[in-house]
Amino acid sequence: MNIEKLIHSGAKIIDVRSHDEFSWGSAFGSINIPLNEIPARIEEFKAMEGPLVLCCASGNRSGQACHFLQAQGVECFNGGGWTDVNYIQSKAS
């Protein structure tokens, strides 16, 4: 799936960095759910309207989160670093 199309179509953006990292800057409208909290909040993810685009600092943690969530039946995609997601959001579709 094309991440840019997902973001411009209104996909929910989840930032899996720590709360401290998130407070230093984040993609517009993103929700902060740190990677270590995901297993305990799986039902919250399942209740979200999909698809979801996950991001972090570099794409590593969001990739791990996607792998875990997809195994739980959650439709999600790795958006990479939050600055990349922010850049995509800033581009007119």
**Side by side, which strands form the sheet with 31-32?**
31-32, 12-15, 52-56, 76-81
Beta bridge partners of 56: 81
Q: How large is the average pLDDT for residues 11-32?
A: 97
Q: What is the pLDDT of residues 46-86, one digit of tens each?
A: 999 879 999 999 999 999 999 999 999 999 999 999 999 99
Q: Residue 91 — very low, low, confident or very high, per pLDDT cuts 50/70/90?
A: confident
Whole-prediction pTM value?
0.94
By C-alpha distance, which of 88, 73, 31 is closest to 54? 31
Share of the chain above pLDDT 90, in %: 91
Q: How large is the average pLDDT for residues 11-24?
A: 97
Query: What residues contact residue 18 under an 8 Å CB cut-off, 6+ apart?
Result: 34
CATH architecture type of domain 3-90: 3-Layer(aba) Sandwich (3.40)
| Contact in structure between 82 and 30 (CB atoms under 8 Å) | yes
